[in-house]
Chains A and B, each alone.
Chain A
Amino acid sequence: MSRKRNYAMVIDTKVCVGCSACVYACKAENNVPEGFCRDWIEEKTEGHFPELTMTIRSNRCQHCEVAPCVTYCPTGSSHYGRDGTVQIDRDWCTGCKACLAACPYDARYIHPKGYADKCSFCQHRLKQGLEPACVTTCPTSALNLVDLNSNDGVFGQLIEGREVLKDKVHAGTRPKLFWLH
């Protein structure tokens, strides 16, 4: 059965200012406990003064098309959603942490209640036709939710003429966060 949707995220590092609004929007929307986060900001500074370059990007679960967490989950708790996302069914999670060991992006953590947790692309909001909290909040519109199976042309417009980077492609995970440089 072919998927109806295949959600991905396009993140423009040229307009991201690293304000962390996405991080706090996510924490509030998903009741992420204190001391934990489902998404985060990374700042990388390189070069020699005065030729310094800084890359700022918002990062989270890559919702891989070949997700090691799903491959290695012994109970089927980590699974592919029908919308192309990677989700966790808390009722099935034993807290064995196989998924944490398997993730090359270290995107997961163990919730104080015992289950593995991570970015869900705000699946509850997607079902209501809304965008994820981070995308809605981002003040510079650096975050964009796209449907790779759609022919609306949004994805093509966003990446046109831009250098597109994906993280650890050689891991064979087919990650779905696209960073524009």
Chain B
Amino acid sequence: MTEFVTNKINPHVLPNLHIWGWDVAIYLFLGGIAGGLLIISSAMILLQKGGIFNPSERVEEYNKQIQIASLLAPVVLGAGMFFLFLDLEFKTHVWRFYTHFNLTSPMSWGSWALLIFFPFSVFQAIVVCRFSSKPSFLFLARWEKLLEPYLNKIAAVNVHVGMGIGVYTGILLSTYYARPLWSNTVLGFVFLLSGISSAAALLLLIAPSREKQFYTKIDMYIIAAEGFATTLFILGGVTGTESMKNAMFYLIAGPYAAWFWILFVLSGLIIPLILETLEAIGKIRFSPLVPLLVLVGSISLRFIIVYAGQDVPTFA
């Protein structure tokens, strides 16, 4: 027999870690979407204008979807940061994130990256939304005129800022080697791809019918990549150390298995991939159910990983 008895009593540490809950899961979801929206909108601006090294004529009226995505990116990230703020135990010290930079702390990098995300995504939104055409936003006309010549460069920066935020939501968890399920480098890519796919799904949902096929295709390719990244994530776990292997089996064959396989893998990846492929080749008509499944799968992934990652025993 082996029996272990302790009088350690700290709540949220024992019997298993429970420091991050629904608010962090929602932040990771919203952060991923915000990153995805910025990546897609900036990439579309660059493609429309022929890339950063090839500035073309002034675009009179940007595509509505580019406008919505550019505007939503900072708004969604702001909402996400609100949930992150809710999680802080010492809320009046929130400004301390910006009185220090710790090179080795992913959370420090993330906090400063958020500060880059806001101005650059807002700059892009100011130009592409053409606020100057609406009288109530006339005060932005000066900004629009000032920023317009640099739009290509701003968009080029934004593609990377969006990628950075998307990957960061995964790195935030994956660098904690004390938590064997999270301690998986591929998690950053799973979250990045899931964020881009959620953003594409959101744009697909609100796109006019003649543009839907475009977003269906984007989502289809990204979901396929996400499926491979998820496979690598699982393989990385089961071929890892004993702690990592046990943690991965806890996810794929333990109490969270039904949620993981049905809600995320089946209804969040496989079914949307099949339906989107059929939509893309014109076999079936667009259904709003598909992007909704993608979004539900994406938020479930964050919840499952955040909760299951704290349930598994600490690195041993």
Can you name 9 A-B pairs with beta carbons within 8 Å?
A42-B8, A45-B5, A91-B93, A94-B96, A96-B89, A97-B89, A109-B12, A109-B13, A110-B89
- CB contacts (< 8 Å) of A100 on chain B: these are 12-13, 17, 19
- CB contacts (< 8 Å) of A80 on chain B: these are none
Asked if A95 lies at the interface with its beta carbon under 8 angstroms from chain B, I say yes
- A92-B93, A115-B89 known; A45 and B11 CB under 8 Å? no
- Contact between chains at A109 and B106 (CB < 8 Å): no
- Contact between chains at A108 and B5 (CB < 8 Å): no
Asked if A141 lies at the interface with its beta carbon under 8 angstroms from chain B, I say no
- CB contacts (< 8 Å) of A97 on chain B: these are 19-20, 87, 89
A148 CA / B88 CA spacing, docked (Å): 37
Q: A59-B6, A68-B178 given. 7 additional CB < 8 A pairs?
A: A36-B10, A40-B6, A48-B1, A68-B176, A93-B90, A93-B93, A110-B12
- Contact between chains at A92 and B100 (CB < 8 Å): yes
Binds B, one of A5-13, A69-77, A156-164: A69-77
- Contact between chains at A101 and B19 (CB < 8 Å): yes
Residues facing B in A88-115 (CB within 8 A) are 91-98, 100-106, 108-110, 113-115
- A45-B3, A68-B177 known; A76 and B94 CB under 8 Å? no
- Contact between chains at A104 and B100 (CB < 8 Å): no
- A42-B6, A109-B13, A110-B19 known; A98 and B316 CB under 8 Å? no
- Contact between chains at B13 and A72 (CB < 8 Å): no
Nearest B-chain residue to A93, judged by Cβ: B90
Among candidates A40, A47, A76, A101, residue contacting B20 with C-beta atoms closer than 8 Å? A101
- CB contacts (< 8 Å) of A46 on chain B: these are 1-3
Chain A interface residues (CB < 8 Å from chain B) = 20, 23, 35-37, 40-48, 59, 68, 71-77, 91-98, 100-106, 108-110, 113-115, 168, 171
A96 CA / B94 CA spacing, docked (Å): 9
Residues of chain B at interface, number, CB under 8 A? 44
The 5 A-B residue pairs with the shortest CB-CB distance in the complex, in nearest-first order: A95-B89, A114-B90, A95-B90, A40-B8, A74-B108
A93 CA / B19 CA spacing, docked (Å): 15
A114 CA / B178 CA spacing, docked (Å): 22
A74 CA / B25 CA spacing, docked (Å): 19
How near does chain B come to A181, taking the closest CB pair, in angstroms? 16
Among candidates B10, B96, B107, residue contacting A98 with C-beta atoms closer than 8 Å? B107
Asked if B9 lies at the interface with its beta carbon under 8 angstroms from chain A, I say yes
- Most chain A beta carbons < 10 A, residue from B14, B19, B179: B19
Asked if B4 lies at the interface with its beta carbon under 8 angstroms from chain A, I say yes
Asked if B111 lies at the interface with its beta carbon under 8 angstroms from chain A, I say yes
How near does chain B come to A47, taking the closest CB pair, in angstroms? 7
- Contact between chains at A101 and B176 (CB < 8 Å): yes
Among candidates B9, B96, B178, residue contacting A92 with C-beta atoms closer than 8 Å? B96
- CB contacts (< 8 Å) of A48 on chain B: these are 1
- Contact between chains at A72 and B1 (CB < 8 Å): no
Nearest A-chain residue to B179, judged by Cβ: A101
Residues facing A in B98-144 (CB within 8 A) are 99-100, 102, 104-108, 110-111
